[in-house]
Structure 1
Amino acid sequence: MQRTAEGSDAVISGAMRFEAAPARRRAILERVRSTGFCSIADLAGELAVSEMTVRRDVRRLDEAGEVRVVHGGVSLPPGEDYSTRAHENPGPKTLIGQAAAALVGPGDTIAVDAGTTAHALVDALPADFAGSVVTHSVPVMQALLERPESRCVGLGGDLYPPSRAFVGPATVEAAARLRVRWCFLGAAAVDERGCYGAYDLERPTKQALMDIADHVVLLADAGKFLSSAPVLLERLDRFHTLVTDTEPPAAIRRALEANGTALGVAAPAGAGV
Structure 2
Amino acid sequence: MKNSIVNVQERRNKILSNLNANDTTTVKKLAEELAVSEITIRRDLKVLSEMGKVDWHHGVVTSNGIELDQGNSLRERIEQLKDSIAAAVPSYIEDNSTLFVNSSSLCWRAINQLAVEPLTIITNNIRATECVRHPQTSIILTGGEIRYPKESLVGTVTIQLLETMQSDYTLIGCDGINIENGVTTQNIYETQVNSTMIQRTKRKVICVADYRKIGVSSNYHVANLSAVDILITDNFANESVIRDFRHRGITVIQVSK
| TM above 0.5 | yes
1:156-195 per-residue CA deviation (whole Å, 9 max, x = no partner) reads 1110113211001110110111111110100112223222
Per the TM alignment, residue 236 of structure 1 is displaced from its structure 2 partner at its CA by 1.5
1:80-121 per-residue CA deviation (whole Å, 9 max, x = no partner) reads xxxxxx988221111111111111122111111111111111
Quote the Cα distance in structure 1 between the aligned partners of 2:227 and 2:131: 28
Change (3 A) 1:260 1:207: same
Per the TM alignment, residue 235 of structure 1 is displaced from its structure 2 partner at its CA by 2.2
Instruction: Write the mapping of 1:183-194 to structure 2, written as runs, cut at 5 A.
Output: 183-193=170-180, 194=182
Quote the Cα distance in structure 1 between the aligned partners of 2:89 and 2:192: 23
Do structure 1's residue 154 and structure 2's residue 146 form an aligned pair? no
Could you list the runs of 4 or more consecutive aligned residues of structure 1 that deviate by over 6 angstroms after TM superposition?
41-44
Q: Which residue of 2 aligns with 1:264?
A: 253
Change (3 A) 1:163 1:227: farther
Per the TM alignment, residue 226 of structure 1 is displaced from its structure 2 partner at its CA by 6.8
Change (3 A) 1:251 1:235: farther
Q: Which runs of 5+ in 2 are unaligned?
A: 15-74
Q: Alignment partner for residue 253 of structure 1, among 230, 242, 246?
A: 242
Do structure 1's residue 164 and structure 2's residue 143 form an aligned pair? no
Instruction: Write the mapping of 1:73-92 to structure 2, written as runs, cut at 5 A.
Output: 89-92=78-81
Coordinate RMSD, CA, aligned:
2.6
Q: Which residue of 1 aligns with 2:71?
A: none
Give the alignment's TM-score, normalised by structure 1. Answer: 0.63
Give SS of 2:109's match.
helix
Quote the Cα distance in structure 2 between the aligned partners of 1:42 and 1:99: 26
Give SS of 2:131's match.
helix
Per the TM alignment, residue 262 of structure 1 is displaced from its structure 2 partner at its CA by 0.8
Do structure 1's residue 221 and structure 2's residue 203 form an aligned pair? no
Tell me the number of residue pairs that the alignment of Structure 1 and Structure 2 aligns.
192
Q: Which residue of 1 aligns with 2:233?
A: 244
Q: Which has the larger radius of gyration?
A: 1
Per the TM alignment, residue 220 of structure 1 is displaced from its structure 2 partner at its CA by 0.5
The alignment-based identity, stated in percent, is 15
Change (3 A) 1:247 1:237: farther
Per the TM alignment, residue 228 of structure 1 is displaced from its structure 2 partner at its CA by 5.0
Give the alignment's TM-score, normalised by structure 2. Answer: 0.67
Change (3 A) 1:93 1:43: closer
Q: Alignment partner for residue 188 of structure 2, among 200, 216, 219?
A: 200
Change (3 A) 1:47 1:265: closer
Change (3 A) 1:263 1:158: same
Match for 2:118: what amino acid? A
Q: Which runs of 5+ in 1 are unaligned?
A: 1-36, 49-85, 269-273
